[in-house]
Amino acid sequence: MLTARDLAHAIGGRRILDGADLDLARGEVVGLGGPSGSGKTTLGRILAGRLAPDRGEIRLDGAIPAPARPGVPAPVQHAPQSAELAVDPRWPVRRILANGLPPDPEVLDALGVRTEWADRRPDQLSGGELARVSLARLFHPGLALLICDEITSQLDAIEQDRLLRALTRLCAGRRIAVLLISHAGALHARFCDRAMMLDGGRIVRPPGRARFPTGA
Ligand SMILES: Nc1ncnc2c1ncn2[C@@H]1O[C@H](COP(=O)(O)OP(=O)(O)OP(=O)(O)O)[C@@H](O)[C@H]1O
């Protein structure tokens, strides 16, 4: 479904990515680890079309993805670490969720987004509630890949577990691939079909077991 070949990107003269290759199939959940500063967010932003790489090619179902156009939701969506930075703090939840398209009730239900939050602003939600709203707004009928960039790092273990279970179940049912960026190998073992890591600007298999016996 998505292939990335020979991605390279430098920031401030430092090579962050240097020949990174990645293949993701429809519906699979893949973990991406690597030390802090290794380029996980940079890679996620490039895959989502938010940052142009210096070199390399990304294809989606064999074709180069079209540039983003206002009002047309992209098939690859990037959920950043901080949900607060992803949404307009002045908007009520109903407006955040609309995001150009009417919200899908099945998505809201699966992610536990409650109707009574509709008129609240982001600062009137808990961190876990805002994370759910922020994720729900990214779903649309053409979504092929959801890049989740440390989306649960600010949540407690129980909320983290609940949210990732709901998200991976929803994506599995719709054959949406998930790239789960996290430092936590335990999350990859629990929720991912396989895991990779960034090392020296390339994507490699992590030491030890990289393919897990079951998914979520
Ligand atoms: N706009 C920028 N200007 C300067 N340096 C940047 C910029 N964006 C990223 N970097 C640097 O690029 C490197 C890779 O950053 P990136 O956020 O991709 O790493 P990461 O693996 O996601 O890190 P973390 O796990 O800490 O979130 C870091 O050293 C970071 O400081």
Measured from the CA of 42, which atom of ligand 1 is nearest? 18
CA distance 80 to 95: 19
Q: In terms of residue numbers, what domain contains 158?
A: 2-204
Is residue 82 over pLDDT 90? no
What is the separation of C-alpha 67 from the centre of its chain, rounded to a whole number of angstroms?
19
Domain contains 117: yes
The ipTM of this complex is 0.95
Ligand 1 neighbour 40 (Cβ under 6 A): yes
pLDDT digits (tens, 9 = 90+) for 136-187: 999 999 999 999 999 988 888 898 999 999 999 999 999 999 999 998 788 8
Q: Rounded to whole angstroms, how far apart are CA atoms 171 and 109?
A: 13
Residue 30 lies in a domain: yes
Domain-embedded: residue 216: no
* Ligand 1 centroid from CA 9, angstroms: 11
Decide whether any atom of ligand 1 lies within 6 Å of the 182 Cβ: no
Please identify, by atom number, the ligand 1 atom nearest to the C-alpha of residue 181: 22
Total number of domains constituting the chain: 1
Give the C-alpha distances (Å, rounded to integers) separating 33 from 14, 58, 134, 165, 170. Answer: 20, 20, 22, 19, 23
pLDDT at 107 over 50: yes
- The yes-or-no verdict on residue 119 having pLDDT over 90 is yes
d(C-alpha 60, C-alpha 62), whole Å: 5
CATH number of the domain residue 64 falls in: 3.40.50.300
User: pTM, whole model, 2 decimals?
Assistant: 0.91
Q: Is the pLDDT of residue 211 over 70?
A: no
Q: Name the helix (H) or strand (E) containing 149.
A: strand 145-149
Please write the tens of the pLDDT for every residue from 36-81.
Answer: 999 999 999 999 999 999 999 999 999 998 877 777 889 999 998 8
Find out whether the beta carbon of 214 lies less than 6 Å from any atom of ligand 1: no
- Using alpha carbons, select from 42, 56, 68 the residue that is nearest to residue 8: 56
The residue nearest atom 16 of ligand 1, judged by CA position, is 39
